[in-house]
Structure 1
Amino acid sequence: MIPPVRIALVGKSGSGKSTAGLRLSGLTGVDHVRTGLICRQIARSLFGNEDKRSTQTLDDALTAVDPSIFVRAALRSYSEDAGFVLDALRFESDALLARKLGCRIVRVVAPAELRHERLRVRGQSFDPRTDGLHRSEVELDAIQVHHEIVNDGDIARLDQALATMLAKEKLA
C-alpha cells in the first residue's frame, strides 16, 4: 500500500506557509489543513483581533492543556489513511507528532521585511522585538527538516521549488 502524502510546514510568521500549503495541496491533491486558523478564530472571539500578542497568549494557555492542541484540533476529522498538508507547526511537540504521522517536514523561509509586510497587510500587529522572540516563533528554528523552500513573493518561483521538492520525494 502506498502511504498517503503528508507534508508539514514550519516557518516564521508571515513566511508564506499558508500560501505554500495551498499550492502544495493543489499539486498533490490532498487537503490543506490550516492549523493557525483555529487559534486566530479564538483570538478574534476573545480579543477582537489576530495580533501576534493575542495568538501567542492563546498558545501559552492552550498548549499547557495539550502541547499540540492546534495540530490535533485541525486533524481531528481526518482518518488514519488520509493525506494532508499541515501549514503551521509551531512547537517541538507538533514536529514530533507530525513525524509520528509520517509527514515530510518543510521549512518555508522569507526575508524579515517581507514577512513583516505580509503580517501588516493581513492586519496582524507584530513587533519583532517581542513577538518575534516568542517560543512559537523560535522553538523550531533548529529542527531538522527534509526540505527548505524560499517564498520571496514570486509565485512562479515558489511553484517551481515546490514541484522540484515533490519530484525529489516522488510525491507528485
Structure 2
Amino acid sequence: EEISVPDYVEKDYLTVNPWSRPGEPLKRIKGVVIHYVGNPGTTARANRNYFESLSGGEQETYASSHFIIGLEGEVVQCVPLTEIAYASNTRNDDTVSVEVCHPDETGVFSRPSYNRCVELTAWLCHEFQLNPGEDVIRHYDVTGKQCPLYYVEDPAAWDAFLEDTAEALEALEAAERAAEKNS
C-alpha cells in the first residue's frame, strides 16, 4: 500500500530494474540513513536521472535512494517507501535513504537543503515511530564510508542535525495533537 508523503515531495519513481529499483519489499523501517550525493553542485533531478540511467545495467552499478533533496530544498522521491533502495549496504532492507545535494566539495548542505532534510527526517521519524537520536544514522555508521562527508568530519554538526530533527519532530507531534484537539 502506497504511503502518502508530504506535499513538498515530488514523486518520480525509477523504473523497476535490477540496478536501481529492484522492487523488493522493505520489511520494516527501523531507521533513516542520511547521505550526501558526493557530486558538488548537482541537482536532485540530475541525481535521480543518474539512478535511472543505471537501469540499463551497462555500468553494473547498484545505486539509488528513496529521496533526493536538492540545493533549493526541493525533494524528489525515487523509490516508494514500501521498497528497498540501493544506498545503505547491509541496512538497505530496514532503512529509508535520503541523499542530499551540496554546493561544494566540503559537503556542507545549503541552508534550504539542511532545513528540508531536518523536516523530511522528522516526518519519517513520526511516520515510522523512530527516535532521531537512535534511529537516524549516517551512511558512515553502516560502512565507514566518508558519507555524508561534512557530518563525518564534524561530529558536532551531526549532533546538531539530530537535535534539530528531534525539535522538528516534537513540533510536528505538537501540531498534530493540537489539530486532533480542535477537530
Larger helix proportion, structure 1 or 2?
Answer: 1
TM-score, with length taken from structure 1: 0.30
